[in-house]
Amino acid sequence: MASISFTVNARPHTVDVDPKMPLLWVIRDVIGLTGTKYGCGIAQCGACTVHLNGVPVRTCSLPVTAAANKAIVTIEGLSADNSHPVQQAWIENQVPQCGYCQSGQIMAATSLLKRNANPSDSDIDAAMQGHVCRCGTYPRIRKAIKLAAQKMKNPTSKS
Protein backbone atom coordinates (compact mmCIF):
# COMPACT_ATOMS: atom_id res chain seq x y z
CA MET A 1 0.00 0.00 0.00
CA ALA A 2 1.13 3.54 -0.66
CA SER A 3 -0.11 6.94 0.40
CA ILE A 4 -0.53 9.19 -2.63
CA SER A 5 -1.74 12.79 -2.77
CA PHE A 6 -3.22 14.70 -5.67
CA THR A 7 -6.08 17.03 -6.40
CA VAL A 8 -9.25 15.97 -8.17
CA ASN A 9 -11.29 18.83 -9.62
CA ALA A 10 -9.26 21.21 -7.40
CA ARG A 11 -9.99 19.28 -4.20
CA PRO A 12 -7.04 17.71 -2.37
CA HIS A 13 -7.16 13.94 -1.81
CA THR A 14 -4.80 11.50 -0.16
CA VAL A 15 -5.44 7.84 -0.87
CA ASP A 16 -3.88 4.77 0.66
CA VAL A 17 -3.94 2.15 -2.09
CA ASP A 18 -1.97 -0.53 -3.93
CA PRO A 19 0.56 1.55 -5.94
CA LYS A 20 -0.11 -0.64 -9.01
CA MET A 21 -3.81 0.23 -8.98
CA PRO A 22 -4.80 2.09 -12.15
CA LEU A 23 -5.88 5.68 -11.58
CA LEU A 24 -9.29 4.78 -13.10
CA TRP A 25 -10.29 2.58 -10.17
CA VAL A 26 -9.00 5.13 -7.67
CA ILE A 27 -11.17 7.83 -9.25
CA ARG A 28 -14.24 5.61 -9.56
CA ASP A 29 -14.12 3.36 -6.53
CA VAL A 30 -11.99 5.22 -3.98
CA ILE A 31 -12.86 8.87 -4.70
CA GLY A 32 -16.34 7.88 -5.92
CA LEU A 33 -16.54 9.90 -9.15
CA THR A 34 -18.15 7.56 -11.66
CA GLY A 35 -18.38 9.83 -14.72
CA THR A 36 -15.04 8.41 -15.89
CA LYS A 37 -15.66 5.01 -17.45
CA TYR A 38 -13.98 1.66 -17.95
CA GLY A 39 -14.12 0.54 -21.57
CA CYS A 40 -11.23 -1.76 -22.44
CA GLY A 41 -8.52 -1.59 -19.76
CA ILE A 42 -5.77 -1.41 -22.39
CA ALA A 43 -5.87 2.25 -23.48
CA GLN A 44 -7.63 1.44 -26.76
CA CYS A 45 -10.98 3.20 -26.38
CA GLY A 46 -10.51 6.43 -24.40
CA ALA A 47 -13.61 6.05 -22.18
CA CYS A 48 -11.40 6.53 -19.10
CA THR A 49 -9.81 9.83 -20.19
CA VAL A 50 -9.19 12.59 -17.65
CA HIS A 51 -6.81 15.55 -17.62
CA LEU A 52 -3.61 15.14 -15.61
CA ASN A 53 -1.92 18.50 -15.21
CA GLY A 54 -3.95 19.58 -18.22
CA VAL A 55 -2.95 16.66 -20.45
CA PRO A 56 -5.47 13.95 -21.45
CA VAL A 57 -4.45 10.53 -20.08
CA ARG A 58 -5.87 7.00 -20.19
CA THR A 59 -6.49 6.24 -16.53
CA CYS A 60 -7.19 2.53 -17.10
CA SER A 61 -3.53 1.97 -17.89
CA LEU A 62 -1.91 4.59 -15.68
CA PRO A 63 -0.81 3.50 -12.19
CA VAL A 64 -2.05 5.79 -9.45
CA THR A 65 1.54 6.67 -8.55
CA ALA A 66 1.80 8.61 -11.83
CA ALA A 67 -0.74 11.06 -10.42
CA ALA A 68 1.20 11.84 -7.23
CA ASN A 69 1.15 15.55 -6.49
CA LYS A 70 -0.59 16.34 -9.74
CA ALA A 71 -3.91 17.93 -10.63
CA ILE A 72 -6.62 15.67 -12.04
CA VAL A 73 -9.70 17.02 -13.79
CA THR A 74 -12.56 14.62 -14.52
CA ILE A 75 -15.82 15.16 -16.43
CA GLU A 76 -17.43 16.20 -13.14
CA GLY A 77 -14.82 18.96 -12.85
CA LEU A 78 -15.54 20.43 -16.26
CA SER A 79 -18.80 21.81 -14.86
CA ALA A 80 -21.66 20.23 -12.98
CA ASP A 81 -24.21 22.55 -14.62
CA ASN A 82 -23.12 21.89 -18.20
CA SER A 83 -21.94 25.49 -18.56
CA HIS A 84 -18.66 24.59 -20.25
CA PRO A 85 -18.78 25.47 -23.96
CA VAL A 86 -17.87 21.91 -24.96
CA GLN A 87 -20.74 20.50 -22.88
CA GLN A 88 -23.08 23.09 -24.36
CA ALA A 89 -22.02 22.26 -27.89
CA TRP A 90 -22.53 18.55 -27.11
CA ILE A 91 -26.07 19.23 -25.88
CA GLU A 92 -26.94 21.53 -28.78
CA ASN A 93 -25.85 18.90 -31.28
CA GLN A 94 -27.56 16.12 -29.26
CA VAL A 95 -24.37 14.11 -29.46
CA PRO A 96 -24.78 11.32 -26.88
CA GLN A 97 -26.85 8.24 -27.56
CA CYS A 98 -26.06 5.68 -24.87
CA GLY A 99 -23.62 8.26 -23.50
CA TYR A 100 -21.13 5.83 -22.00
CA CYS A 101 -18.07 6.98 -23.97
CA GLN A 102 -18.98 10.65 -23.92
CA SER A 103 -17.09 11.68 -20.78
CA GLY A 104 -13.88 10.57 -22.47
CA GLN A 105 -14.86 12.18 -25.77
CA ILE A 106 -15.62 15.49 -24.05
CA MET A 107 -12.36 15.47 -22.07
CA ALA A 108 -10.41 14.84 -25.28
CA ALA A 109 -12.28 17.57 -27.15
CA THR A 110 -11.72 20.05 -24.33
CA SER A 111 -8.03 19.33 -24.38
CA LEU A 112 -7.89 19.72 -28.17
CA LEU A 113 -9.61 23.10 -28.02
CA LYS A 114 -7.25 24.30 -25.32
CA ARG A 115 -4.31 23.62 -27.63
CA ASN A 116 -5.98 24.60 -30.87
CA ALA A 117 -8.73 27.22 -31.03
CA ASN A 118 -9.57 26.45 -34.69
CA PRO A 119 -9.20 22.73 -35.24
CA SER A 120 -9.48 21.48 -38.83
CA ASP A 121 -11.07 18.14 -39.70
CA SER A 122 -7.67 16.49 -39.66
CA ASP A 123 -6.84 18.09 -36.28
CA ILE A 124 -10.09 16.64 -34.95
CA ASP A 125 -9.27 13.23 -36.43
CA ALA A 126 -5.84 13.26 -34.79
CA ALA A 127 -7.13 14.29 -31.38
CA MET A 128 -10.21 12.08 -31.31
CA GLN A 129 -9.16 8.87 -33.08
CA GLY A 130 -8.27 7.20 -29.81
CA HIS A 131 -11.88 7.43 -28.66
CA VAL A 132 -14.35 4.71 -29.59
CA CYS A 133 -18.10 5.26 -29.76
CA ARG A 134 -20.15 2.13 -30.54
CA CYS A 135 -23.35 4.14 -31.05
CA GLY A 136 -21.64 5.99 -33.90
CA THR A 137 -21.94 9.59 -32.73
CA TYR A 138 -18.80 10.62 -34.64
CA PRO A 139 -20.53 12.95 -37.15
CA ARG A 140 -22.09 14.87 -34.27
CA ILE A 141 -18.85 14.91 -32.28
CA ARG A 142 -17.17 16.57 -35.23
CA LYS A 143 -19.91 19.20 -35.47
CA ALA A 144 -19.93 19.78 -31.73
CA ILE A 145 -16.19 20.40 -31.59
CA LYS A 146 -16.50 23.02 -34.31
CA LEU A 147 -19.40 24.67 -32.49
CA ALA A 148 -17.50 24.59 -29.19
CA ALA A 149 -14.58 26.33 -30.89
CA GLN A 150 -16.95 29.12 -31.97
CA LYS A 151 -18.52 29.31 -28.53
CA MET A 152 -15.15 29.76 -26.91
CA LYS A 153 -14.68 32.84 -29.04
CA ASN A 154 -18.28 33.99 -28.92
CA PRO A 155 -20.41 32.33 -26.23
CA THR A 156 -23.68 33.10 -28.03
CA SER A 157 -22.76 30.99 -31.09
CA LYS A 158 -25.42 28.49 -32.15
CA SER A 159 -25.18 25.39 -34.26
Binding residues for another protein (CB under 8 A): 17-18, 21-22, 25, 28-29, 33-42, 44-45, 47, 74-76, 78-82, 87, 90-91, 94-103, 106, 124-125, 128-142
Q: Interior CA angle at 128 toward 157 and 73, to 5°?
A: 75
Q: Whole-number minimum distance, CB 157 to another protein, in Å?
A: 17
Indicate the Cα dihedral angle 112, 126, 58, 44, nearest 10°: 150
Residue whose CB is less far from another protein, 5 or 83: 83
Task: Give the H/E segment covering residue 72.
Answer: strand 71-73
Beta-bridge partner residues of 15: 4
Residue whose CB is less far from another protein, 5 or 82: 82
Q: Whole-number minimum distance, CB 48 to another protein, in Å?
A: 11
Q: Whole-number minimum distance, CB 14 to another protein, in Å?
A: 17
Is residue 55 within 8 A of residue 70, CB to CB? The reply is no
**CA gap 109, 2 in Å, rounded:** 33
Residue whose CB is less far from another protein, 6 or 105: 105
Residue whose CB is less far from another protein, 83 or 118: 83
